[in-house]
Amino acid sequence: MEFYFLGTGAGIPATKRNVSGLALRFLKRNGPQWLFDCGEATQHQILQTPISLTKIEKIFISHLHGDHIFGLPGLIGSRSFQGATTELIVYGPKGIEEFVTQSLKISQTYLKYPINFIEVTEEKTLFHENGIKVEAFPLDHVMPSFAYKLTEDDKQGELLVNKLQEFDIQPGPIYQKIKNQEAITLADGTNLDVRQFVGPSKKGRTVIVAGDTRPKTELIDFSKHADLLIHEATFRSELEEQANKFGHSTIKNAASIADRANVKQLILTHISSRYVDEDEALLQEAKQFFKETLIAHDQMYFKLK
């Protein structure tokens, strides 16, 4: 999984941070690309990345504040202008379909591809396909806001080729049958215990992308042992009262969630424009509460191994 942070600021665009946008590219799944939130000028930010509008298959909107959706109609239109004909699915809270369809209607923007809207209203599994499950989880903001969890299926263990060769089992279709755990009978009548020739399965990775929220205790269990948690941290820790008033989290709030959930990596985003050129100070503050933390910046690239 490759993550491209297109916009990492809060509320309004700033000189160093655009508003919210995050792209995900799956390198080993025939190249599909997903988008999380789409603030103003997200498509401009994409121009500086390997992300292609025509390959974006799904868009996940956390909530309907303008800094998370005002770039969506333009991006959807440009996807059509660039020749896309494949379906686009947009997931988001109630109202996202009306916002997009009315914007396209009033601007007389006609799409060459079908677009489907899936309303998100509660905690639920949105889909489980092509080896990955996506779940939605309600957060605590001033309007309905959601986190999305991506969980990969466990990966099949590797074929132990050296051990097969020890038994004089030569390469061929039989290797795939053994990996698929099919019953195998050798030419001499021996029933092969295929389990001894396949290594242990590898646990699939888990990623949570959380939208705007006050700290929510229930998010700890939802994020338990995740490989990556992407969480907003609009304010520094001393402004907890202000953060709570506007439905946001502080650095300490987000880092404490990550620590209690025992995630492997935390990336903080949605940073207030008041903190210009303070990334290093923000990082040192976060590391007091959770060491495996990064502060996102526009055009930051992160590869989850």
Distance in angstroms (rounded) separating the CA atoms of residues 243 and 300: 25
Residues in Cβ contact with 242 at an 8 Å cutoff, skipping those fewer than 6 apart: 235
Q: Where in the chain is the domain with CATH 3.60.15.10?
A: 2-155+202-303
Tokens matching residue 4? 């491209």
67 belongs to the catalytic site? yes
Cβ–Cβ under 8 Å, residues 126 and 120: yes
Distance in angstroms (rounded) separating the CA atoms of residues 91 and 57: 11
Q: Which stretches of 107-170 are assigned E, i.e. beta strand? A: 115-119, 124-129, 132-138, 146-152
pTM over the 0.75 mark: yes
Cβ–Cβ under 8 Å, residues 219 and 257: yes
The CATH superfamily holding the domain 2-155+202-303 is Ribonuclease Z/Hydroxyacylglutathione hydrolase-like (3.60.15.10)
Distance in angstroms (rounded) separating the CA atoms of residues 152 and 162: 28
Q: Give 239's DSSP letter.
A: G
* Catalytic residue, candidates 67, 212, 227, 298: 67
CA 302 to chain centroid, in Å, comes to: 11
Tokens matching residue 264? 């492997």
Cβ–Cβ under 8 Å, residues 194 and 175: no
Q: Give 246's DSSP letter.
A: T
Residues in Cβ contact with 241 at an 8 Å cutoff, skipping those fewer than 6 apart: none
Query: Can you give the pLDDT of all 305 residues of the chain as single tens digits?
Result: 999 999 999 999 999 999 999 999 998 756 789 999 999 999 999 999 999 999 999 999 999 999 999 999 999 999 999 999 999 999 999 999 999 999 999 999 999 999 999 999 999 999 999 999 999 999 999 999 999 999 999 887 777 778 777 777 778 787 777 777 777 776 677 777 777 777 777 899 999 999 999 999 999 999 999 999 999 999 999 999 999 999 999 999 999 999 999 999 999 999 999 999 999 999 999 999 999 999 999 999 999 98
